[in-house]
Amino acid sequence: MSGHTRLVLDAQALAHNYRVLRSKTAPQTALLGVVKAMAYGSDSLFVARTLAQLGIDYLAVAYVPEGIALREAGIHTPILVLHPQLDQLDELWNYCLEPSVYSFRVLQALSARKEQLPIHIKLNTGLNRLGFDREDLAQLGQYLNQSPHLKRTGILSHLAASEDPEQDQYTRGQLAEFTAMSDELAQLTGGFTYKHLCNTSGILRFPEAHFDLVRSGIGLYGYPNDVALEQEFIPFASLYTVISQIHHLKPGNGIGYNRAEVAKQPMKIATLPIGHADGISRIYGLGKGGVWINDQWAPIVGNVCMDMIMVNVTDIECAEGDEVVVFDQKHRADQLAEGAGTISYELLTALSRRIKRSYVPLEDPN
Ligand SMILES: *Cc1c(COP(=O)(O)O)cnc(C)c1O
């Protein structure tokens, strides 16, 4: 029978998604797996080890400590750090991490230590979050030429709306800007080994923009951000919980804190051991989210509590101790997220450390 709340991570699903993404890119295009934020709320070590075993070319994290944790666990794959902070730069050398260099402040700090370091130059082409602008390129070229210890390993930018067909013109503008800016900088400084622009939706929707390397996060975890493609991918993480207790309510009985919902007729509700401290935030309350019990939808009733939710099981045959699916490979996390007005990325990365992770290993090739 089922245990308590747990997140099951399926390395075979990850391997499947890895192969699907490889099949969408040319053989010479390198693939980078994004494992920031606990590998999208799962387990970055498990994911990094599995991807390394599968032959991934690169990994990326957001912050330096995430990269250190991977190195300390024995991951040898090249690691790109997307958003290094100024007080952590020495660790890039100590742990063999490759920074995305997005500002003159970072560049100046890096040029002070005269030891070889592979770097990736980040260009702002329209997301307006991180990166050098067109006007910066002449000065940037000078700096790079004066800092030969900073190896020009990569040049990258990031798309703002690659999943949204209504924004395709904007995306094509970003692609053109990236091409022009990277050409200009290459003329000033010599070329870069890896030119890279695409995230998952970029990979799937803009094959002409793959360049030397592509970066996938959400696709590896099984969510291509596209209903037409979702059958090709398998969700990596499945979240299960259990029925702790069942209550039978009379009309007028309130449910949970602040009596946010009140039974209008006789009702049967189930209490589950998962709450906002586990990452199921209050936005899923009041019926915006729900769970699956014996394959039937049971909406959350009342407010989400810190450690529990209550769900409506009036019409569902079930008992205390029964297994509950929050999301799995069939009942998708992106749909649960969408029902509450958010996205798979936010639901997944919110899943807290309190939830026990369990693992389905890669199939033994022998
Ligand atoms: C998070 C991130 C990605 C991965 O995006 P997905 O949509 O999850 O594939 C790629 N590149 C950068 C710069 C990122 O910050």
Q: What is the CA radius of gyration of the chain?
A: 23
Interval 267-322: pLDDT, tens: 999 999 999 999 999 999 999 999 999 999 999 999 999 999 999 999 999 999 99
Please give the share of the chain, as a percent, with pLDDT higher than 90: 98
Here the tokens at position 248 are 């039978």
- As a three-state string, the secondary structure of 332-345 is CHHHHHHHCCCCHH
15-44 burial, b at 16+ Cβ within 10 Å, e below that, comes to: bbbbebbbebbeeebbbbbbbbbbbbbbbb
Q: How many CB atoms lie within 10 A of CB 310?
A: 24
pLDDT of 1 above 70: no
Ligand 1 mean position, distance from CA 215 (Å): 6
Name the pLDDT band for 2 (thresholds 50, 70, 90).
very low
Taking residues 341-366, report their average pLDDT.
Answer: 93
* C-beta of residue 185 within 8 angstroms of C-beta of residue 145: no
pLDDT tens for 245-256 read 999 999 999 999
What pLDDT is attached to residue 247? 98
CA of 141 to the centre of ligand 1 (A): 26
Give burial (CB, 10 Å; 0-12/13-18/19+) of 365: exposed
Residue ranges of domains in the chain, CATH in brackets: 10-222 (3.20.20.10), 237-360 (2.40.37.10)
The mean pLDDT of the chain is 97
Expressed in angstroms and rounded, the spacing between residue 149 Cα and the centre of ligand 1 is 28
The model's pLDDT over 86-101, given as tens digits with 9 standing for 90+, comes to: 999 999 999 999 999 9
Probe target for ligand 1 pocket from 199, 200, 204, 349, with the most ligand atoms within 8 Å of CB: 199
pLDDT band at 363 (very low <50, low <70, confident <90, very high): confident
Query: Which of left, alpha, beta for 287 (phi over 0: left; psi -120 to 50: alpha)?
Result: left
Helix H segments across 24-117?
36-41, 44-54, 64-72, 90-94, 104-112
Ligand 1 proximity of 100 Cβ (cutoff 6 Å): no
Which amino acid, one-letter code, is at 207?
P
pLDDT at residue 85, as a whole number: 98
Sign (positive/negative) of CA torsion 142, 148, 150, 154?
Answer: positive
- Asked if residue 344 has its Cβ within 6 Å of ligand 1, the reply is no
Sign of CA dihedral 116, 117, 123, 124: negative
Which residue type sits at 113? Answer: R
**Which parts of the chain are beta strand (E)?**
6-10, 30-34, 58-61, 79-81, 98-101, 117-122, 150-156, 194-196, 213-216, 237-242, 245-249, 254-255, 261-262, 267-272, 290-293, 296-301, 309-312, 323-327, 356-360
To the query of whether residue 257 is one of the catalytic residues in this protein, the response is yes
pLDDT digits (tens, 9 = 90+) for 125-156: 999 999 999 999 999 999 999 999 999 999 99
Catalytic position from the list 18, 24, 36, 284: 36
